[in-house]
Amino acid sequence: MAEAEVPGRRRLRAVLLLLSVLLLAVDAGRAPLLEPDEGRYAEIPREMLASGDFVTPRLNGVRYFEKPPLLYWCVAASFRLLGETEAAARLPVKLASLGLVAAVFLFARRRFGEDTALRSAFVVASSLLVAGLSRILLIDPLLALAVTGTVFGLAAFFEADEACDARGASRARWLAVLSAAAGVLLKGPVALLLPGAPFLLFLWIAGRLRSSLRLLAPGPVLAFLVVTVPWHVLVAVRNPGFLGYYFLDQNLLRYLTPRHHRTGSPLYFAAVLLAGLLPWTAFLGRLKEVWPGRSRAAWRASGSTGYLLAFSAFTFLFFSASKSKLIPYVLPAWPALGVLLGAGIDRALRRGARLRAETLGAGLLSVLLLAAGLVTGLGDGWLPRLHAVLPGLVLLSGLLLGALLLLGPLGRSLPLEARVGGPWLLVLAGAVLVWPSAAGSLTPGPVLARLGESVSPLVQYHDYLRVVSFYAGHETLVVEPGDEELRFDAATGSPSPGTLTEEAFGRLLGDARRPLRVVARKDAVPGLLRRMDGGVVRVTSDAAGRFALLERVPAEAPAPALALGPAPGGRGSGVSPVPAYRP
């Protein structure tokens, strides 16, 4: 009996999948929000709740149109239910990550059976990219879920249409269309392009291009428009200049030009694939098991497999050609890759393949990662500095165990998932334990801890840290910010709220009667202290020595409170009870 068909091993796969899902869901402690992305995607929903305006996103009071609002709405709903905490901010991302695993399992089970479904879902849940991004507040996990719903819906539509199953085609059509609508409200037109272009290509190769016309039924198309159009119309009416800025600058020019300073090698996403698919990287060659061949008839007969291949390849090629590259961009391809890789490994095992080369490769990767972990974590003192030696040893022990099981005789009698995935779950568990300390080292924790302890005016000196606004619970003044995210109002001829000139800031510093807090880079602190005449100034620095908080206590009776004035649109100060971060 082939390994894939041994009854007891199905239960083992289920247990491993359950453990990997548990690691996606749990936290080992409170990790502060990271700058800039997490701070931005938490602060915008906080300002939405404070202002009651859920149409126009604002960051520190400035209109922010780089992304549509669905992520902000999800985080705002989580804040309303659970409070404005880090866990609440990240909840939509965790749910989306779990949704990816569930979608892979359900899609693969219907087409390949439960063994392949368990393997495919385990590949996705345990892969480094999915496990890592499930802990960071980003749009990409939600976009990946929306795109996956569209891709799986289109694949199911093709299969049902080929089988003349009108009812199945209708259900699949609704899934694809509503998922596409959610994707558009998460990241704009790319949510249509990623699944749509390869679907049309696949239909053309398969000689079934006319099927696309049956996809455009009036009901689903109307539903798509009802979901996506109202926000675009409302925000355009309220904010002249939105349409050109959003569609041209933030979509087309972001892709075609390096203006956002995120360029990379054409092989950038090849490296992301190899690293992000760990521990399954060595098994990528088994995608050949699901390759349909060269004939159009073979591609047509391949059904959903052919489309998933076309979609995965298109996603990597599309973003590789972009002038703007970030690691999470290719996450939408992970569920499709998981299904294909699970099916490929399963087919190889069923025909008796021993997968020795792949096992050797996975073992060597474990040895390399173990060596790198020992040098960086212990040799360079990274783990001791984080006070995370014990969790780090858990991580390293998982790599050691993986090397032993994959390269030595101990693991020869164990099924593939136990040799590859079992030790890797120990690695992920160690990473979960290390993460709160690691995140704290990347964020000005001691500075954030004091932000909720005072209501005196808060000024950020040149650098705008989004996490500062969130943990302070209100918008902050910024001295002549160089941040492009705070320039939309100025670019459209509107006054930017909360922006101070150097001259106005100098008057604030020189008024010894006024309490004042300033967040600045450490190298600017000596000059600022010389300018803060009078009073007692307390300086709090972060552990990395990058930023400091200067707090002035007046020597005399304080001057009248600094009048910030109402924010645009009649909004108030935007103060809300964000709990202070405690490192």
Per domain, the residue ranges of the chain are 3-30+65-353, 357-443, 446-570
DSSP state of 561: P
pLDDT of residue 582: 43
| CA–CA gap between residue 423 and residue 430 (Å, rounded) | 11
Three-state secondary-structure class, residue 577: coil
Cis peptide before 36 (omega within 30 of 0): yes
Reported for 82-87, long-range contacts at CB under 8 A and 24+ positions apart, including other chains, are 83/579, 84/42, 84/46, 84/49, 84/470, 84/473, 84/576, 84/577, 84/578, 84/579, 85/579, 86/30, 86/31, 86/32, 86/33, 86/42, 86/581, 87/27, 87/30
Q: What is the pLDDT along the chain (583 residues), one digit of tens a residue?
A: 455 456 678 899 999 999 999 999 999 989 999 999 999 999 999 999 999 999 999 999 999 999 999 999 999 999 999 999 999 999 999 999 999 999 999 999 999 999 999 999 999 999 999 999 999 999 999 999 999 999 999 999 999 998 889 999 999 999 999 999 999 999 999 999 999 999 999 999 888 888 888 888 999 999 999 999 999 999 999 998 888 888 888 888 888 888 777 788 999 999 999 999 999 999 999 999 999 988 888 888 888 899 999 999 999 999 999 998 999 999 999 999 999 999 999 999 999 999 999 999 999 999 999 999 999 999 888 999 988 999 999 999 999 999 999 999 888 889 999 999 999 999 999 999 999 999 988 888 778 878 876 667 899 998 899 999 999 998 999 998 876 676 666 555 566 677 888 998 998 888 888 888 999 999 999 999 888 866 788 898 876 678 999 998 876 545 444 444 333 333 333 333 444 444 4
In sequence order, the β-bridge partners of residue 459 are: 477, 518
pLDDT of residue 492: 59
| 401 and 394 Cβ atoms separated by less than 8 Å | no
pLDDT of residue 299: 86
The single-letter code of the amino acid at 156 is A
Q: Is 421 exposed, middle or buried (0-12, 13-18, 19+ CB in 10 A)?
A: buried
pLDDT of residue 562: 46
Q: ∠ at Cα 566 (560, 569), nearest 5°?
A: 175
For the record, the structure tokens of 351 come out as 């025909």
Three-state secondary-structure class, residue 303: coil
For the record, the structure tokens of 138 come out as 């980003």
Q: How far, CA to CA in Å, does 290 sit from each of 18, 63, 200? A: 26, 47, 20
For the record, the structure tokens of 47 come out as 């300002």
| 379 and 372 Cβ atoms separated by less than 8 Å | no
Alpha helices in 52-136 (DSSP H): 70-82, 86-112, 114-126, 128-133
pLDDT of residue 510: 85
Q: What are phi and psi of 189, to 5 degrees?
A: -60, -25
Alpha helices in 443-501 (DSSP H): 445-449, 466-472, 488-491
Decide the pairing of beta strands 458-461 and 516-521: parallel
Q: What are phi and psi of 578, to 5 degrees?
A: -85, 125
Q: Is 441 exposed, middle or buried (0-12, 13-18, 19+ CB in 10 A)?
A: middle
Q: Residue 28's Cα: distance from chain center in Å?
A: 19
| CA–CA gap between residue 399 and residue 580 (Å, rounded) | 36
Which residues fall within 8 angstroms of residue 565, CB to CB, at 6 or more apart? none
State pTM to two decimals.
0.92
* CATH T-level assignment (fold) for domain 446-570: Rossmann fold (3.40.50)
pLDDT of residue 7: 62
In sequence order, the β-bridge partners of residue 62 are: 59
For the record, the structure tokens of 344 come out as 């490929």
| 471 and 580 Cβ atoms separated by less than 8 Å | yes
Q: ∠ at Cα 360 (357, 361), nearest 5°?
A: 85
**Secondary structure string (H, E, C) spanning 214-250:** HHCCHHHHHHHHHHHHHHHHHHHHHCCCHHHHHHHHH
Q: What sign has the CA pseudo-torsion 27, 33, 35, 37?
A: positive
Which residue, chain included where needed, has tokens 């079992």?
422
| 97 and 245 Cβ atoms separated by less than 8 Å | no
Q: Nearest Cα to 418, choosing from 436, 433, 406, 434? A: 406
Alpha helices in 249-333 (DSSP H): 254-256, 268-276, 296-302, 304-320
